[in-house]
Amino acid sequence: MGLRLTVSDIWKTYNGDAVLKGCSFPFDSSGIYVLMGPNGCGKSTFLRICCLLEEYDKGEINYFLDNNMLEKDIGLRRRISLVLPKIGVFNTTVYKNVEYGLKIRGMTGKETEEKVDRALDFVGLYHKKKHNALTLSSGEIQRLGIARAFVIEPEMLFLDEPTASIDQKNTEIIEDIILKMKREGRSIVVITTHDKSQAEKLADRILIMKNGSIIDTNS
Ligand SMILES: Nc1ncnc2c1ncn2[C@@H]1O[C@H](COP(=O)(O)OP(=O)(O)O)[C@@H](O)[C@H]1O
Ligand SMILES: [Mg+2]
């Protein structure tokens, strides 16, 4: 059994407005969870909280590995990755943009190169590895963001509206990458989207955020 996440009764208020009002959900088996809900309902806030990037007012976020609860430390953070709807790129090659995450983890040499090449191949950007990342199209930049997350082999991957502002062709490529990632197997992927057909295409389970809480449509 791999990394699991239990979200229990999370509340979050911004400037007096409650956005999350008791969100609970167990992310306890590998596969793709799709979180849907209207603009502004709190999906991105929920993902940031799950990734330990934002404080919350009440409730608990707990990660487990083989029934042991993990400390919320740098070791845990390195098992998790969040891809934002609009990623920022560094003014350097596509290759170096992906290599960065491994370098800051102290990885060097042949193993790094193999991992980066594989991640670029995975998202169909291997042929652009020597190009400057700033020359990529928005769809390619989004794929680069996925490669950057993929290269560190996260056990839990969060994708916040991964196809929100890109064309149909790149949307389909990204959907195929996500399905391919699922076939590789062991990780839990959580995706937010507005697109019902995308949710149906990708999801093992569809969750709906409504009135600040999470509804599991499968139960
Ligand atoms: N850092 C923040 N400061 C103040 N308000 C915020 C912040 N982040 C989100 N909000 C507000 O919280 C609500 C939910 O936002 P968000 O989580 O981005 O929703 P979604 O991703 O579902 O569109 C919105 O009303 C938004 O304006
Ligand atoms: Mg959002």
**Residue type for position 179:** L
Average pLDDT per 10 consecutive residues for the chain, totaling 219 residues: 93 96 95 95 97 96 94 92 90 96 88 95 96 96 94 93 91 92 85 93 95 89
pLDDT at position 194 is 86
Name the closest-CA residue to atom 4, ligand 1: 14
Name the closest-CA residue to atom 8, ligand 1: 45
CA angle, corner 187, sides to 183 and 192, nearest 5?
Answer: 90
Q: Which residues line ligand 1 (CB under 6 A)?
A: 14-15, 19, 37, 39-45
CA angle, corner 70, sides to 67 and 71, nearest 5?
Answer: 160
Which class in CATH covers the domain with range 3-216?
Answer: alpha beta
In the reported structure, the alpha carbon of residue 121 is separated from the centroid of ligand 1 by a whole-number distance in angstroms of 35
Name the closest-CA residue to atom 7, ligand 1: 14
pLDDT at position 130 is 98
Would you kindly state where each structural domain of the chain is located, as residue ranges?
3-216
pLDDT at position 219 is 67
pLDDT at position 185 is 75
In the reported structure, the alpha carbon of residue 68 is separated from the centroid of ligand 2 by a whole-number distance in angstroms of 31
DSSP per position, 94-108: HHHHHHHHHHTTT--
3-state secondary structure of 67: coil
Do β-strands 17-27 and 68-69 pair in parallel, antiparallel, or remain unpaired? unpaired
Helix pair angle (109-122, 94-103), 10° resolution? 130
pLDDT at position 62 is 97
Which of 43, 45, 159 for mutating ligand 1's site (highest number of atoms within 8 Å of CB)?
A: 45
In the reported structure, the alpha carbon of residue 129 is separated from the centroid of ligand 1 by a whole-number distance in angstroms of 35
The 3-state secondary structure of 131-192, one letter per residue: CEHHHCCHHHHHHHHHHHHHHCCCCEEEEECCCCCCCHHHHHHHHHHHHHHHHHCCCEEEEE
pLDDT at position 18 is 96
Q: Tokens 């057909």 appear where?
A: 197
CA 102 to chain centre: 17
Distances (CA, A) of 3 to 76, 108, 125: 10, 26, 29
Residues near 59 by beta carbon (within 8 Å), at least 6 away in sequence: 7, 8, 9, 10, 11, 22, 23, 24
209 contacts 35 by C-beta, under 8 angstroms = yes
0.85 cut: is pTM over it?
yes
